[in-house]
Structure 1
Amino acid sequence: MKSAFILLPLGLMLAACSNDDEAAPPPPRPVKSLVLEETNSVPLSFAGTVEPQIVTNYSFQILGRMISRNVQVGDPVERGTLLAVLEATALEQDVQAAQASLVSAQASSNNARVVEQRQKGLFAKTVVSQAAVEDAVQAAQAAQSAEVRARANLAKAQERLSYAEITADYTGVVTSTAAEPGQVVAAGQTVVTVARPDLRDAVVDLPPSAASGIKIGDPFSVVLQSDPTTVVKGRVRRIEPSADPVTRSQRIRIALQAAPAAFRLGSVIAVSLPDTRPSELLLPASAIVTRDGKTLVWIIPDGTDAVATREVTTTGTGDRVAITSGLKRGDRVVVAGVNSLTDGQKIRISGDLK
């Protein structure tokens, strides 16, 4: 009986201890958080090269064997400078033959005119008939037509002879050559490329996100990569109508304004323009939770040590997303361990994500 009285208080004490253990709340969960701040507008910078605005690929208009090329890459040329020459023996012979034909036609025409005048004189003295005069007039007209045809053939032969030479149309610099002396070149095959160095573009490939807001006339600052202190202004002159099929980038051409000689053709440059996009609230993608078709984040309300869900709308993909609605500047958001939290769960901030 005495043993029963001893065991009863002991059982009650054990039961009390068991109830205390079941009622003890779990310890606060440590989390990392981020206080939302608006991003500041920063200049966007892209690399590119200096290229000429005007480039001409010179070629012969006829098939032939090139016997000389008078320029090399980098040579300056003036208007009328001889660039390359084809073998022209056959063309020169054609000109000589045309000249001989013209001389013969001129002689025939002169003789026909003399005969015409003689027949008209004899007809006035009733020595010859009207038919003889008409034959003489017709012969004179045919001879004159033959002379005109011979003169046109000579001009045509001389024109073809001029095709055996390529001359520069403007002052520029040779940027490339594509044929060597002794080579047979086809009509239209590029032989020499000449560019105008005074009119230069900064050529840049922009990603779609940056190119979408660019328009003709937009200002850019262009920096020479080899000397960042050398800066010139430029404006968009041309936007290529189609994107690159591989990179999907958009090529733009920026006309350089009063660029110094340091901006040589082929120089590497960097162009920049202010980012005019509005400020954004950015979050790491790890802070986003998707449940039941809703986009949620865990926030820590001011003055509390528990989490609560907040529905948001976002834009963008990748490591960071932009919040367009649902949050404001200064809100504290959980950015790590979001998938294991429950609404109202106690937390302990173990650090802020920068």
Structure 2
Amino acid sequence: MIRWKVLGKKDYLNAAVFSILCISIILAGCSKTEPVKDEATLVRGQTVNFNVSGQTANYSGEVRGRYETQLAFQASGKIIKRNVEVGGIVHQGDVLMEIDAKDIQQTVNIGSAQVASAQSQLSLAESNLERYRKLYEQGAVSSMQLEQYQNAYEVAAAAVRQASAQYTQGSNLLGYSSLVANADGVIANINAEAGQVVSAGQPIITLVQDGEREIEINVPENRIDEMRSAEQVMINFWAMPGLTAEGKVREISPVADKATRTYKVRITLVNPPPGVNLGMTANVTVANAKAQAAVYIPLSAIYQTSDIPNVWVVQDGEVHLRPIKVGNFGNQQVQVLDGLQNGDVIVNAGVQKLREGQKVRL
């Protein structure tokens, strides 16, 4: 006779747990455990290369003439004629502008009349002196009277010289009514128009003389020493891509501009290529000549912790944080003075996402 045992709730739970354990053991025997792989992160790297040429600096400049003359009238007056335009080619002796010379002509006429009057007085004084000299020889007049006429003659002679000098001055002033080019060149700027009244010495026309061409750039005060010791200066032109010319620093202004606080620097073109015209935009690349080994890395390679700059150095497929000492900044680069060695490989992008000892691949 079979006896049935009624199972309680607790017995059902124990049986369920036992069944789950059996199933887990069976599945564990049928599957293989795969080890977790630590994949290397792909990074962009850069090899450190020291050089002695230093960092190059770029400046934008303008093609200018070596000799630029500010022409002005030597007499005041009203401009009545303009014979040139900006960009026009002129030759030495060409009349560029003229002013109204009516008043100057009257001054010349006055001087001419004064010369005639003084010469007349001189002739009279000479006749009187000759007459009294004969009377003195005959004993008819005293020596004092003769000396008086001698003095009158000398005064008349001096008056003639004075009037002649004034007449010559007026004649020269009449010649100054025309503004004449002092050399062959190109008109770069005109600051006055016909009908305008100008004063003597007021700059009217800028004449760039034919000959040497230079590049004018503005350099900040912290780069002046590098400019003085520039080893190589290369120039390329925006209007002529692919063309590069060599330059040489000729002049550095000793005084900074009051507005920009920069120093004007003139760079002479050693062998100016054909087609370089005044006013062209130029890019000047200057290499520092200080023979000090240095390396420049992108700013994106710097990983800042507290006040210490660091870089991630790749060694045996892992990255390690290394502190460095930085120098000058410029052109999205920074100079590394200490902390790196020639041939080190550093990470130059995404440095905030790395951790010490992380495996990476370049």
> TM-score under structure 2 normalisation?
0.73
- The answer on 1:289 being equivalent to 2:300 is no
Q: 1:178 aligns with which of 191, 197, 208?
A: 191
Aligned length: 321
1:215-294 alignment, distance < 5 Å: 215=228, 219-243=232-256, 249-274=262-287, 278-280=293-295, 282=297, 284=300, 286-290=302-306
Deviation at 1:92, TM superposition (A): 0.7
Answer yes or no: is the 8 Å Cα contact 1:37–1:329 preserved in 2.
yes
Give the aligned partner of residue 201 of structure 1: 214
Deviation at 1:135, TM superposition (A): 2.3
CA distance in 1, matches of 2:222, 2:69: 33
Q: 1:314 aligns with which of 322, 326, 332?
A: 326
Q: 1:188 aligns with which of 201, 217, 231?
A: 201
Answer yes or no: is the 8 Å Cα contact 2:236–2:243 preserved in 1.
yes
CA distance in 1, matches of 2:85, 2:319: 77
CA distance in 1, matches of 2:236, 2:46: 36
Give the aligned partner of residue 358 of structure 2: 348
Q: Over the residues paired in the alignment, what is the CA RMSD in angstroms?
A: 3.8
Which runs of 5 or more residues in structure 1 are unaligned? Answer: 1-5, 7-26
Matched position secondary structure for 1:169: coil
Answer yes or no: is the 8 Å Cα contact 1:197–1:265 preserved in 2.
no
CA distance in 1, matches of 2:46, 2:188: 56
- C-alpha offsets along residues 161-192 of structure 1, whole Å, 9 cap, x if unaligned? 23322111111111121111111112332222
Query: 1:262 is aligned with what amino acid?
Result: G
Answer yes or no: is the 8 Å Cα contact 1:36–1:282 preserved in 2.
no
CA distance in 2, matches of 1:281, 1:231: 24
Closer, same or farther: CA 207–100 of 1 in aligned 2, 3 Å: closer
Q: Percent identity?
A: 25
CA distance in 2, matches of 1:333, 1:306: 9
- C-alpha offsets along residues 229-277 of structure 1, whole Å, 9 cap, x if unaligned? 5443321111233455666554321112342440111122333355656
Closer, same or farther: CA 37–311 of 1 in aligned 2, 3 Å: closer
- C-alpha offsets along residues 260-304 of structure 1, whole Å, 9 cap, x if unaligned? 4401111223333556563416364542323xx6x3648678569
Deviation at 1:120, TM superposition (A): 0.9
Answer yes or no: is the 8 Å Cα contact 1:175–1:193 preserved in 2.
yes
Answer yes or no: is the 8 Å Cα contact 1:67–1:87 preserved in 2.
yes
Deviation at 1:103, TM superposition (A): 1.0
Answer yes or no: is the 8 Å Cα contact 1:299–1:331 preserved in 2.
no
Deviation at 1:85, TM superposition (A): 1.3
Query: 1:237 is aligned with what amino acid?
Result: R
CA distance in 2, matches of 1:296, 1:68: 68
Q: Report the more deviating stretch, 215-224 or 43-52.
A: 215-224
Give the aligned partner of residue 61 of structure 2: 48
CA distance in 1, matches of 2:178, 2:309: 74
Q: Report the more deviating stretch, 169-178 or 29-38.
A: 29-38
Q: Report the more deviating stretch, 322-331 or 295-304.
A: 295-304
CA distance in 2, matches of 1:274, 1:300: 28
Give the aligned partner of residue 339 of structure 2: 326
Closer, same or farther: CA 304–260 of 1 in aligned 2, 3 Å: closer
Answer yes or no: is the 8 Å Cα contact 2:46–2:345 preserved in 1.
yes
- C-alpha offsets along residues 110-154 of structure 1, whole Å, 9 cap, x if unaligned? 221121111111221223333332222122122112112211221
Query: 1:264 is aligned with what amino acid?
Result: N
- The answer on 1:98 being equivalent to 2:98 is no
Matched position secondary structure for 1:213: helix
